[in-house]
A and B are shown apart, each in its own frame.
Chain A
Amino acid sequence: MTTSPEPRSGCPVQNSTSRATATWQSLLEHDSRHDPYPLYARLRDSGPVQQLDDGAFLVTGYDEILQVVHDPRISSDLLAGRPETAEAGPALTSAFVMKDPPIHGRLRGQTMRHFGPPHRAGYVDSLRGDIARTARSLVDAFPASGTIDLVEAFAYPLPVLMICDVLGVPHEDEPRFHAWSASIIAPPEATAPEEAAMLEEEASTATSELGAYLTHLAEIHRGTPQGDLLSGLVNDDSDESLSTSEIISTAIMLLIGGHETTVNMIANGALTLLRHPGELEQLRRDPSSMPRVFEELLRLEPPAQVTPKYVALENVPVGDVTITKGSPVWIAWAAANRDPRHFTDPDRFDPLRADRDHLGFGAGIHACFGAPLARLETQIALTELFTRLDDVQLVDDPPPYRRNPLLRGPSRLDVTFSRILGPQAER
């Protein structure tokens, strides 16, 4: 395979389509997981909007993505344009991430009443202390020195304990969630049709079981609000409050979000910093620079790489390509974050860069609901990690990766360190 950009003149449709599909398929292969960026670059360079052989349009350019996700002719509803079907049970596909306005607005707005502004403006900010205590206790539990898997010991438990607290799920039930969540996001990992069918089946079973568990939990919270989001939703008596089915779908989505993204954000962030010792040393000397460092980490290594959920309701021209009516549209945020037409020297990790408007949390009305929580968790986690562990070194570079190409991150991140320093407050 060549890495040279495709010519854009002439009649490139047939040719570039199959080439784009081949590149996309390489991207899905597990071998590409540790560094998909040259493949994203190849796709983007040969056309920021391209149709794959299965009919889907893949959008990889920064400006093009912003255009598409703000276009009201692009729907997020899988059922858009199709005949109405009987309402399915609670599932990720009926959560607001897969809905259009006005339903989206009502579901997201009602959920936001219990999470953020304007109704609960200080809530996420009030979790800073809990996040810091949780991060500190996880580091306290590390061995005094030696080798540790940061994913298992740190990047996984921190956001998962926090999402359990936010949602109102008992910590002791967490292992069951881990299994359900992993099954629900597994289907894109399939490499063969039989495997896909099996993974879909397992995902469906997991969704039902998780839904049943959450329904039971919701009943426990009904009438006895605990200050958590699930309590808030089941005890909401405002005009547009959510039905039980809507609450369960929303809770499933938030649990998946809490399990499958921030974990990668922390692990990707730690890995990237360990690969850039100069910047890491700078950060250790001046932890107040973390907000900028974080945004740059998210630009460079976004956990949510591609969102394959949109569909065109009409022919939508984007640049010199027309996304045809009825086609699926896949948004490759990870490619846009390194688009050289928008970011100077895009592959370089540069926390001081002026162009910081990355798309790591998405854009438009479906921009990440949990972004403020994920941002605080990751910033606090990485600060705790690198101010307390001395002489941290990567064991394997690249580390092994999880199979999922859309929600990307290391499956293990073994590091060595020489000692643990006391918590900052005690030093």
Chain B
Amino acid sequence: MRSRVRTLLFGLAGAGAVVLLALALWPRPAVDIRIPRGGFAALHQRFGRVVAMPDTIVVAAGGRPRVRITNADTTTHQLGLFSAPPGQTVEYTLPTPGTYTGLCSVHPTSETLTFVVR
């Protein structure tokens, strides 16, 4: 009986470890932009920190950085080169270091949003 309980506990601990490992190693986007319904796009950073969209976003070039845009709004949003249709999450993978600039609906003053991968 005791050995079966031990097997169960080991099984549970092993599965938990695998889940934690998978969560830790699962690739996260370098940039996480979320657009709430009827709201403004904001940059979501680690540990739940949310900041307003800057004109330039600098991304560390490691592998192929990804930009994730989650658009919960009812209209398409244009964020520099990248767009997100309403109600969709889209990821863009930036292939090489460089500057990626495009017209932006979030920045009516500068009219552009730039991603710098370096």
Instruction: Decide whether A and B are members of one complex.
Output: no
B interface residues, Cβ below 8 angstroms from A: none
